[in-house]
Structures are given as structure tokens and as C-alpha cells.
């Protein structure tokens, strides 16, 4: 019998643990876990990875390119002899063209070419046969007007680099926004738990007072009409408690969705950290102003967008200009008896050629290119105005948040004093009520004031905490504050 009893207890405890698991978090632990499971942050990271791949793909333009083109040609010719007979002549040609080219950031192309060709009347021929021709060429194509330092490919490379940097800035912005959301979610759960505790204490006190008042009425100590006052108070506190419990359930769901998005089992959550009453900004306002320009992500993003629009304007201006290219080509050709030394030791059949030329071209679609240039100019001006607007607003935003910190600090100190005075007033009113110097109605009002004052004090303390984090969200101090990588 005892053995069955213990087995029943073990099964019951096991099922209870699975359904009502208890989780406790410090603020730092919650932020780290929520960041690791954030879908929004993973999406932003993937966007950055995509732009990084595009950037790498675009920069392949500067990777040396090796091209090899082998060729085989077979010709069968018929020749008529003096006896009106036909002879056949088999001519085989084998060739190999190789080119190594390199594009440069100046818009130029440097190429090295090597060609080898074998002509033979034999049925079986090889590159190692003693008769063949070869040539070596070295050339440079350098634009000196349109295309110099900027063309479509160079713009694509620079633009992909800027877009990658923009996605990095957006990732950091999203990360900071999420940290601030997690901080607010954590403290909101703390507030909901504290408020539920305060409302529960007030309800229990009102219930006890209701029972005591009924006893006094039954004994004839109090008039029957006094029950209406305490019953109304009990109902009000009961409603407040139900509202507090609903808020607590909502805040728990908001807390859990960032760390247990796919879990449906019921959990009890406890926040271990309590808001501190001594808070200071670790840096002066002047230092925060200096860090703002570097750490404010909206400003960093608009600066990169201005840089990209400036490149687009440069490209549009280049496209409308006539193109002038300088071409240089040096070639050496010859016939050699050994394939392996054909480049180093050419025979008497060698020849050298040098070509210097200038290529001039001008676009015929002038009006279309001029329209593109006009559009690029206006977009560049637009981006510059946006940059100035962000520069104007970011300093104002920082000062506004610093003033908010001071305001929240003063409000908390006042709310704390109000809660202290409300508790003292309640004590005094209870003493007066014991001696018949106060009414039950006044006593109930003072009890409500105490509950509301305590809730307001906790709320103002949390708002003070969040206001400081909102400053750090602008100036990039959240990672250091919460020891995040």
C-alpha cells in the first residue's frame, strides 16, 4: 500500500512540473536569450548576409580572368594533275588562344595574350611537331574621359559595398530597438507582478474589514448602513484585483513570446531583478553629444545614402560625356623548333609589332542621358536635405531624452514621497477610527490612496530606468550596460 502511495505522489509531481514549470530571469539573461531567438534580428542578419554576397559577386570584376580557346580545323583539298587525275591534300590546323586580363579601379583593362597555331599536311599532327607559329601580346585599354574612375561596373561594385554597410547599420539599429523592447517587456512584467501583489493586499484588507464590519453590525457596535461602505470598497478592490491579474497574464504572454514562441505549456515566470533607486548616466551630456554622430544609426544610414547618390551622379555625368580611350598593344610573333622555348627563343621568322591608338565615341541618345543626369542631381540634392534634417533632429532628440531622464527622476522622488505620506496618513486615520474620530468611509478612501500611490511609485521608478536606456539606445551604450557582445 505504501509503495502504491509513493508511486502516485511521484506521478503527480512529475505532471505538475511539466505543466507548471518555473522560470526565473535576470534582465541580462532575458535580453541575451531573447536576442538569440529573435526572428526580427535573424531576418536583419540574413539581409546583411545577402548584401555581403552581392558585394563579393560584384568585386569579382577585379579578379584576374583567364580565357583559353582551343580550335581544330580539318580541310581536304583536291588538286588536278597534268593527267587529269585528282590528288588529295589534307591540311590540319590546330590553334590555342589564351588570354589573361585584369580590370583596375581606374576603369582600365590590362591583358596578356598568347596564341599558338600549327599547320600541317599530315594526317596526325601535334603541337610538339617542329612547325608551328606563335604570338605573344600585351595590351592596355585605358579610358581618359568617360569611364575613367567610374563606369557601370565600378558603380555596381561601390554601390554594393554601400548597400552592405547600410544593411549592417540597419541590423545594429534593429538590435538596439529590440533590446529596448526587451527591457520594457521585462520591467512591465515586474510592474504587473508588483501591482497584482498590491491589489491583492488591498483586496484582502478590504475583505477582512468587510467581515469585521459585519460582526460589529451583528453585535450592535456599528449601524447597519456602514456595511454599504465596506461592501462597495470590497467590490472596487475585487475589480482592481481582476484587472491586475489580467494585466499580469498579458505581460507574461508578452514576456514569453520572445523566448518560448513555439511552446504552449503554462509557465510561471519570475523576474529576479528589481529596479534600482540610485540611477545616473555614466557619461556627461557633452560626451553623449560627441558619440551621437557616430552611434546614431539613422544618421549613419543617411550618410551612406548620400555617398551612394553622389556616385550615381558621377556615373550619370560620365555617361553624357564623349568617350576617349587610349589603346596600347605590343605583339611578338615567330616560328620556333621547340614548343617549350617558343616564347623565350624565337627563330628568324620572328616579328614585333606595336600599336598605339585613340578611340573616340559619343552617345547619340543625348536627351535620354541628360534626363538621367538631371534625375541623379535631384536625388543627390534630396539626400543632402535628408541628411541635414537628420542632423538637425538628432541633437534635439538627444536633449529631449536627457530632459526626460531628469523629469522621470524628479517624478519618482515625488511619487516615493507621496507613497510614504499616504501610508502615514492611513496609519493616522486608523488610529482616529479606533477612537471614533473618523468614519469608515474616510478610512476606505485612505486605503485606496495607499494602493494607488504604491503602484504610481513603482511605475515612475520603471519609467526612470527606461528613460536612461532610451538615451543609451541613441548613443550605443546598451551593449556595454547589459554586457552584450
pLDDT tens for 193-226 read 999 999 999 999 989 988 988 888 888 887 888 8
Is pLDDT above 50 for 343?
Answer: no
* Residue 261: per-residue pLDDT: 58
Q: What is the pLDDT of residues 443-458, one digit of tens each?
A: 888 989 999 999 999 9
* Residue 141: per-residue pLDDT: 82
* Residue 98: per-residue pLDDT: 86
- d(Cα 464, Cα 402) in Å, to the nearest integer? 11
* Residue 131: per-residue pLDDT: 54
* Residue 381: per-residue pLDDT: 95
The pLDDT-based confidence of 120 (bands split at 50, 70, 90) is low
* Residue 78: per-residue pLDDT: 52
* Residue 456: per-residue pLDDT: 95
Is pLDDT above 70 for 232?
Answer: yes
Q: What is the pLDDT of residues 159-186, one digit of tens each?
A: 999 999 999 999 999 999 999 999 999 9
- Do 359 and 332 meet the contact criterion of CB atoms below 8 Å apart? no
Q: What is the pLDDT of residues 379-432, one digit of tens each?
A: 999 999 999 999 999 989 999 999 999 999 999 999 999 999 999 999 998 888
Mean pLDDT over 436-440 rounds to 79
* Residue 97: per-residue pLDDT: 79
* Residue 312: per-residue pLDDT: 92
Phi, psi angles (nearest 5°) of residue 311: -65, -40
| % of residues, the chain, pLDDT over 90 | 39
- d(Cα 124, Cα 115) in Å, to the nearest integer? 21
Is pLDDT above 50 for 477?
Answer: yes
* Residue 297: per-residue pLDDT: 93
Phi, psi angles (nearest 5°) of residue 356: -125, 125
Q: What is the pLDDT of residues 242-270, one digit of tens each?
A: 999 999 999 999 999 898 755 555 567 88
Q: What is the pLDDT of residues 97-119, one digit of tens each?
A: 788 888 877 778 888 888 877 66
- d(Cα 207, Cα 234) in Å, to the nearest integer? 6
Q: What is the DSSP letter of 221?
A: S
Is pLDDT above 70 for 7?
Answer: no
* Residue 346: per-residue pLDDT: 41
R_g (Cα) of the chain, nearest Å:
42
- Do 72 and 78 meet the contact criterion of CB atoms below 8 Å apart? no
* Residue 9: per-residue pLDDT: 34
Listed residue (111, 136, 69, 112) closest to 336, CA to CA: 136
Burial of 343 (0-12, 13-18, 19+ CB in 10 A): middle
- d(Cα 206, Cα 230) in Å, to the nearest integer? 7
* Residue 75: per-residue pLDDT: 58
- d(Cα 266, Cα 277) in Å, to the nearest integer? 33
The pLDDT-based confidence of 124 (bands split at 50, 70, 90) is very low
Listed residue (211, 288, 312) closest to 474, CA to CA: 288
User: How many CB atoms are closer than 10 A to CB 46?
Assistant: 12
Q: What is the pLDDT of residues 30-75, one digit of tens each?
A: 999 999 999 999 999 999 999 988 888 888 777 788 777 777 766 5
The pLDDT-based confidence of 129 (bands split at 50, 70, 90) is very low
* Residue 111: per-residue pLDDT: 83
What DSSP assignment string belongs to 165-196? HHHHHHHHHHHHHHHHHHHHHHHHHHHHHHHH
- Do 363 and 320 meet the contact criterion of CB atoms below 8 Å apart? yes
- Check residues 336 and 420 and name the one with the higher pLDDT: 420
* Residue 324: per-residue pLDDT: 78
Could you tell me if residue 31 is left (phi over 0), alpha (psi between -120 and 50 degrees) or otherwise beta? alpha
pTM, two decimals, is 0.77
Residues 6+ apart with CB under 8 A from 446: 422, 425, 426, 429
* Residue 461: per-residue pLDDT: 95
Mean pLDDT over 76-102 rounds to 63
**Mean per-residue pLDDT of the chain:** 81
Q: Cα dihedral sign for 31, 33, 39, 42?
A: positive
Amino acid at each position: 500500500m505504501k509503495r502504491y502511495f509513493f508511486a502516485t505522489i511521484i506521478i503527480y509531481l512529475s505532471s505538475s512540473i511539466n505543466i507548471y514549470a518555473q522560470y526565473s530571469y535576470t534582465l541580462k539573461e532575458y535580453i541575451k536569450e531573447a536576442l538569440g531567438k529573435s526572428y526580427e534580428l535573424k531576418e536583419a542578419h540574413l539581409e546583411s548576409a545577402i548584401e555581403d554576397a552581392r558585394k563579393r559577386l560584384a568585386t569579382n570584376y577585379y579578379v584576374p580572368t583567364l580565357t583559353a580557346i582551343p580550335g581544330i580545323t580539318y580541310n581536304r583539298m583536291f588538286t588536278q594533275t597534268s593527267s587529269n587525275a585528282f590528288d588529295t591534300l589534307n591540311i590540319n590546323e590546330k590553334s590555342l588562344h589564351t588570354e589573361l586580363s585584369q580590370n583596375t579601379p581606374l576603369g582600365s583593362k590590362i591583358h596578356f595574350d598568347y596564341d599558338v597555331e600549327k599547320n600541317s599536311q599530315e594526317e596526325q599532327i601535334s603541337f610538339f611537331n617542329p612547325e608551328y607559329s606563335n604570338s605573344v601580346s600585351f595590351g592596355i585599354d585605358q579610358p581618359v574621359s568617360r569611364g575613367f574612375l567610374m563606369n557601370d561596373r565600378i558603380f555596381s561594385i561601390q554601390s554594393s559595398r554601400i548597400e552592405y554597410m547600410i544593411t549592417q547599420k540597419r541590423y545594429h539599429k534593429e538590435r538596439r530597438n529590440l533590446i529596448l523592447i526587451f527591457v520594457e517587456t521585462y520591467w512591465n512584467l515586474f510592474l504587473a507582478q508588483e501591482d497584482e501583489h498590491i491589489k491583492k493586499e488591498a483586496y484582502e484588507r478590504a475583505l477582512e474589514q468587510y467581515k469585521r464590519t459585519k460582526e460589529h453590525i451583528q453585535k450592535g457596535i456599528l449601524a447597519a448602513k456602514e456595511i454599504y461602505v465596506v461592501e462597495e470598497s470590497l467590490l472596487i478592490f475585487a475589480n482592481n484585483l481582476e484587472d491586475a491579474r489580467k494585466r499580469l497574464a498579458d505581460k507574461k504572454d508578452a514576456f514569453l513570446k520572445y523566448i518560448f514562441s513555439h511552446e504552449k505549456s503554462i509557465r510561471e515566470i519570475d523576474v529576479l531583478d528589481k529596479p534600482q533607486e540610485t540611477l545616473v548616466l555614466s557619461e556627461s551630456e557633452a560626451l553623449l553629444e560627441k558619440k551621437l554622430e557616430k552611434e546614431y544609426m539613422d544618421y549613419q544610414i543617411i550618410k551612406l545614402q548620400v555617398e551612394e547618390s553622389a556616385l550615381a551622379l558621377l556615373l550619370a555625368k560620365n555617361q553624357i560625356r564623349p568617350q576617349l580611350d587610349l589603346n596600347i598593344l605590343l605583339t611578338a610573333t615567330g616560328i620556333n623548333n621547340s614548343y617549350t622555348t617558343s616564347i623565350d627563343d624565337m627563330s628568324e621568322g620572328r616579328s614585333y609589332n606595336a600599336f598605339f591608338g585613340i578611340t573616340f565615341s559619343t552617345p547619340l541618345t543625348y536627351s535620354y542621358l541628360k534626363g538621367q543626369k538631371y534625375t541623379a542631381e535631384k536625388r543627390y540634392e534630396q539626400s543632402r536635405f535628408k541628411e541635414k534634417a537628420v542632423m538637425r533632429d538628432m541633437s534635439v532628440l538627444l536633449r529631449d531624452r536627457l530632459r526626460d531622464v531628469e523629469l522621470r527622476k524628479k517624478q519618482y522622488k515625488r511619487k516615493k514621497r507621496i507613497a510614504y505620506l499616504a501610508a502615514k496618513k492611513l496609519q493616522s486615520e486608523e488610529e482616529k477610527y479606533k477612537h471614533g474620530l473618523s468614519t469608515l468611509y474616510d478610512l476606505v478612501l485612505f486605503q485606496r490612496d495607499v494602493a494607488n500611490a504604491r503602484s504610481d511609485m513603482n511605475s515612475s521608478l520603471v519609467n526612470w530606468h527606461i528613460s536612461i536606456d532610451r538615451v543609451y539606445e541613441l548613443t550605443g551604450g546598451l551593449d556595454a550596460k547589459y554586457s552584450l557582445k
